[in-house]
Chain A
Amino acid sequence: MKYEMVAGLETHIELGTNTKIFCNCTTAFGGDPNTHCCPICIGLPGTLPKLNKQVVEYAIMAGLATNCEIARVSKMDRKNYCYPDLSKAYQISQYDMPLCEGGYVELSNGRKIRLTRIHIEEDAGKLIHDRGDTYVDYNRGGVPLIEIVSEPDIRSIDEAKEYVEKLQLIMKYIGISDCKMQEGSMRCDVNISVRPQGSQTLGTRTEIKNMNSITYMAKAMEYEFNRQVDVIENGGKVDQETLRYDEVTDTTSSMRGKEDAHDYRYFRDPDLVTINVTDQQIEALKKTLPELPNARYSRYVNDWGIPENDASLLTKYKKVSDFFEAACDGTENPRTAANFIIGQIFRTLENDSAKEEFNVAITAQNLNQLIKLLDSKKIRMNLAKSTLDKMLETGKPVNQLISESDMGGLDDATMLKLCNDAITANPNAVNDYKNGKEKAIKALLGFVMKNSRGKADAVAVERTIKEIIK
């Protein structure tokens, strides 16, 4: 029998506020243990938490960017559980009146993954287990989180990966979180079940906790899917339970029996007052949202004629996309800027995080000037490329690297002379070419380009050299 995967994700995202959700301690990552703490965030009796306004605004922005309804009235609740990472023995979260409900994230295959809700809550402290002891550091305790809960609409590992990537990108675009999975500022719990293909009923689900990389999430889902299918095929039944994934053995194992909501004894936090949100506030926040990645991608592909792969690469990093937009401003064809960025500029950025940071020596305006010189035919592509390399190396703008006299190309007589010089200076390359080594022509071409300081038209040079040595 063929089985289908049914999965939903709970995604926790740390918000990039300066201060914690209920006090004014810093949210800075790391720091020596228990140096970012005060009586409120370590939960001493008699303290009074006060909600961070920025947290509410960021959560509303997340809701708006994912097509949610924003609640006009909302409140905070206590979720009771006893574990040393929570000093109060409860986490302040939202239960039945979350800030955002509904909404969806659209995947590239056109499927919409519906969102149940987005609520705000506090993060827990960090535990370090060593032999029989546990060391508790509350620096992270009280750092604001949003939890984005999806409906069980995900049907494959690829959809799960794309869903997480899309969420990550949206949150980065709207600037509410850096979503660094390796630093724990974005983590996912995966609810997963299986059912015979074509069936409409949901199977019993398990929950895999705390996935902090997309790669491991995919592996854990694959393992768990196969495990559940095996259980069913062998006549057993899947237990509803919470699992942890072991990266080393690539297996899941039981953490505990799954709690139901009523086991947490949720009740309203009496220390925190009602949150009222007005239509005007929502409208004002809507105006602060930038164009979102999906919209940008469609505009690049449909309006600007950028190939799909290139459009994906350009929109994958917000800084790159912003740079691209500025570099295109007033130029003839956006593909020119796209090619420069994906080609020469990306080559100077060795990995994903370097592209994310996008620390390049030139500004988008510098690239824009270069492209305009190309558009107006003042320089040729060869010169533009070599100039861009120099710009990236030195950080100097175009006008310091190309003089007026460099513009306008080479006259025919000078080009012919340079071609003859190249042939005289490179007898071996000429012989190689004559003996059938097509590539040898490149040495001659390089000689002319170098000595013309990139001004020569490479196609014309190659044609001329071939004619001379024929």
Chain B
Amino acid sequence: MVSHDDVIQIARLAKLSIKEDELDALTGEMQNIIDFADTINSAAESGEAFDNINNLSNVFHDDVVIPSYPTEKILENAKDVADDCFLVKKRCD
């Protein structure tokens, strides 16, 4: 069962601030999500286990260098860029 403490711990890790009066509702919602996952789990148990849809194993690349992408390409979709780096707001724990 999901407890208030679980919700507080998850909120802390996700860096969300939650109010005391939201706890009951959030705990209920989280319990619904867990129940849904449990339903999926019990359904999966009846099927055959497989590693991946293609049943492949040992797919490797050889240790040979291929030229990397130009830096402009790498940074093309970045919101902010400076000195050839991705630029983000500082976030320290």
Contacts and interface: CB of A to CB of B under 8 A. Distances in A.
B65 interface: yes
B52 interface: yes
Contacts of A52: 60-61, 63
Contacts of B86: 34, 84, 135-136, 138
A19 B64 contact: yes
A274 B57 contact: yes
Contact of B83 (A51, A83, A135): A135
B58 interface: yes
B11 interface: no
B12 to A, nearest CB: 7
Given A84-B86, A132-B90, A270-B52, A276 B66 contact: no
A354 interface: no
B90 A129 contact: yes
B80 to A, nearest CB: 8
B88 interface: yes
Interface string A114-144: 0000000000000011011111111000000
Interface residues of B, number: 35
A470 interface: no
B19 interface: no
B93 A255 contact: yes
Interface in A284-313: none
B63 A53 contact: yes
Contacts of B74: 34, 37-38, 42, 138
A154 to B, nearest CB: 27
B85 A33 contact: yes
Contact of B88 (A22, A44, A131, A134): A134
Given A32-B71, A33-B71, A84 B64 contact: no
B42 to A, nearest CB: 18
B57 A19 contact: no
Given A42-B74, A53-B60, A35 B68 contact: yes
Interface in A11-57: 17-19, 22-26, 32-39, 42, 44, 50-54, 56
A469 interface: no
A19 B90 contact: no
A463 interface: no
Given A34-B71, A35-B68, A50 B60 contact: yes
Interface string B43-84: 000000001101011111111111011010011010000111
Interface residues of A, number: 47
A283 interface: no
Interface string A81-117: 0011000000000000000000000000000000000
A46 to B, nearest CB: 13
A50 B58 CA distance: 9
A128 B85 CA distance: 9
A259 B13 CA distance: 8
B15 to A, nearest CB: 9
A410 interface: no
A32 B61 contact: no
A24 B84 contact: no
Interface in B2-55: 9, 12-13, 51-52, 54
A408 interface: no
A26 B63 CA distance: 9
A158 interface: no
Contacts of A37: 68-69, 71, 74
Nearest to A264: B13
A425 interface: no
A439 to B, nearest CB: 61
Contact of A135 (B13, B77, B82): B82
A273 B53 CA distance: 10
Contacts of A39: 69
Given A18-B63, A37-B69, 18 more contacts: A17-B63, A24-B61, A24-B66, A25-B66, A25-B68, A26-B68, A34-B74, A34-B75, A37-B71, A52-B60, A84-B86, A133-B87, A133-B89, A136-B85, A257-B12, A270-B52, A273-B58, A274-B57
5 closest Cβ pairs, A-B complex:
A53-B60, A135-B85, A24-B66, A54-B63, A136-B86
12 contacts: A19-B64, A25-B68, A32-B84, A34-B75, A35-B68, A50-B61, A53-B63, A84-B91, A133-B90, A138-B74, A259-B13, A275-B57
